[in-house]
Structure formats: structure tokens, C-alpha cells
Homo-oligomer: A and B are copies of this chain.
Amino acid sequence: MKHTFASDNYSGVHPDIMDALNKVNHGHAGSYGADEYTTKAAEKFKQFFGEHVEIFFVYNGTGANVLGLSSLTQSYHAIICSDLSHIHVDESTAPEKFTGCRLMTIPTRDGKIYPDAIEDRIQRIDDQHHPQAKVISISQSTEYGTVYSVNEIAAISAVAKKHGFYFHMDGSRISNAAVSLNRTFKEFTSDVGVDVLSFGGTKNGMMFGEAVIFLTPEVAHNFKYIRKQGMQLHSKMRFISCQFDALLSNERWKKNAVQANTMATLLAEELRKIPQIKITQSVDANGVFAIFPSSIIPALQEEQFFYVWTEKTSEVRLMCSFDTREEEIKSFVKRIKELIA
């Protein structure tokens, strides 16, 4: 299939990561993570997040989010999140089924949630009849391609700490956020009070695998059981570990994210020049949301596929990936202009 703007999971595997997979494929290795590659990958993560953190590899983002949240909750709890968050709109009822918890949503227009709205949502504390809020979960970057500033995260963290809540971050696109902020991972996660982080691999060039990083390591104490019970423990673990090792080496994570973000910025710039198109969100990371004339969408999707995000308004989502190239932006924009003309 031709390159698309459909999703960063339409991409394949970055060559460096494919190389790593080929290289570890010799001999035997201890299963379920008892192997040298897993130790090495964990060490890599510790270089980024600190020696104290606990790292667990899982298969996918839903697994990382749901199991991470499960480690923070009892079934009578509630998880505060944006109504557009991936855990709310794109993970079926996995959060409810596995944690038993309520998702307590906050409406958002830009993908972010803010302290005031969170405070408003916290109700009936200690009331046995009502779900008890216990975790605040945010996505960084958000599902709308926006990125929380460090201060914004710190402010949410303060709300969490004030109420004795945990703070969870869905970082399926965390590398794109780090590049956008020009900050280290640590500066906008553990330094500002994030307890558990889903660190994304697949959308940034890996074949499969995500990491659950316990920045507050105490809450990790029973996670090995939760992961196994959650059907997310891989037997031939070296094949996840080596990918993370490669991703975190030679700034591969950064280079991939820079490419994706740069292409999104370029795409947005080009689209802004077209009067019939309206960019709807701040283009902070690797996604562009825009209202297109509905008439051009079907033909344009044939050129390079993408998803309509909001049917009613003809808002589309255009995702760039580590493998998006300038020529694709150009041909896409050219085709838009032809179709509009």
C-alpha cells in the first residue's frame, strides 16, 4: 500500500529496529523477560527516567493503559480522563472489564483536560454510593495532536496530589511530545509527578510492544501478576526488548519523532494556504486536524488514505509517521488543490 495519512500504525518497522530484531535472532534466550536483552532495554529506560523506575513490557497500547490503570485502582474507583481519550473512545470496554472502574470523563475541545474542570468533576468523596475518583489519566501527546506544556502537566499533578490520586499518562506518542516540547522524557513525567506511564513503541517505528513505566516504583509491586493475568506477558520477550533497546539508542526515538512532527508541521503550513481548509487544532506533534470541503474527501482518500474524524463537520485527521516524506505532503496538497479547483 502507498503511504497514507491514516495512522502512525499504518507504517511498518523502522530499519534500525528491524536490524535489531534480526540480530537477536540466534540461539536460545530465557523466556518471559529472563534474558539479557530485557535487562539491557530496562537499563536504557533507566537512563532516561532514573534508576528507581520499574519497567514492564507489554504487547500494545490498550494493554499498557488498562493494566497500568489496573495497578492503581480498586474496582470501586473512578478514573478521570478526557472524553476524547483513547481509553474512553478506542479501547472498547477494556478499562471497565479489567479494572471494574468508572471512566469519569471531562469534555475537551483540544484533547486536553484542565485543573478547574478536573476539580469540578471530583464529587462525593468517601461516599460509598458513588464511584471514588482515584486516578487522573492524560494522553501526551493527545488524541487531537496537541501537547501539554510542562506547566500544564504540573498543574494537573498538583490536583492529583492534593486529593491523594495517582497520575497516569498514556504516552503512546510520548516521543512526539518530547520532541514538540524539546524536553527530556523525565522533565514532563516523573519530574512533575506522573506515577505510571504507558511508553509507546509501536507508533514510533516498532513492530509491536509498549512499556509500562512505574515512575513511582511502589505501585509496581504486583504488576507482574497483573501483566500475566492480563494476557500481556510475551514468552519470547527478547523480541520486544531488542526493539526498545534500538529505539532508545542513537536517538532513534527522537529522529523518528522529529520526522513525523516536521512533516505534520509542513502539512499544516501547506493546508493553511488553502482558504477552503480550516486547521482545527494546534499542530503540536504529528497529527493535523482540519475541516475539508466534504466533496473532495472521497477522491482524496483514494490518493492517500486518511480518516474522517468528525462526520458532521467534515473534520479529518492526518497523521504523519516516522516514514512520511516531503514528497507525499506535496503530492497530497497538490491533489487537494486540483480537487478544489
Contacts and interface: CB of A to CB of B under 8 A. Distances in A.
A226 B90 contact: no
Interface in A1-22: 1-4, 6-7, 9-13, 18, 21-22
A332 to B, nearest CB: 13
B10 A92 contact: no
Interface residues of A, number: 75
A130 B95 CA distance: 12
Contacts of A229: 75-76, 92-94, 97, 100
Contacts of A340: none
Contact of A90 (B93, B96, B130): B130
A290 interface: no
A74 B74 CA distance: 9
A134 to B, nearest CB: 11
Given A76-B226, A226-B76, A29 B7 contact: no
A78 B93 contact: yes
A25 interface: yes
A123 to B, nearest CB: 9
A31 B10 contact: yes
B22 A18 contact: yes
A63 B231 contact: yes
A157 interface: no
Contacts of A101: 93, 96
Interface stretch (A43-51, A136-144, A233-241, A295-303): A233-241
B12 A24 contact: yes
26 contacts: A1-B28, A1-B35, A2-B28, A3-B28, A6-B28, A10-B29, A10-B31, A11-B236, A12-B26, A12-B27, A12-B238, A13-B25, A13-B239, A21-B21, A59-B231, A66-B231, A74-B222, A76-B225, A77-B93, A91-B231, A93-B131, A96-B100, A132-B225, A202-B236, A208-B234, A208-B239
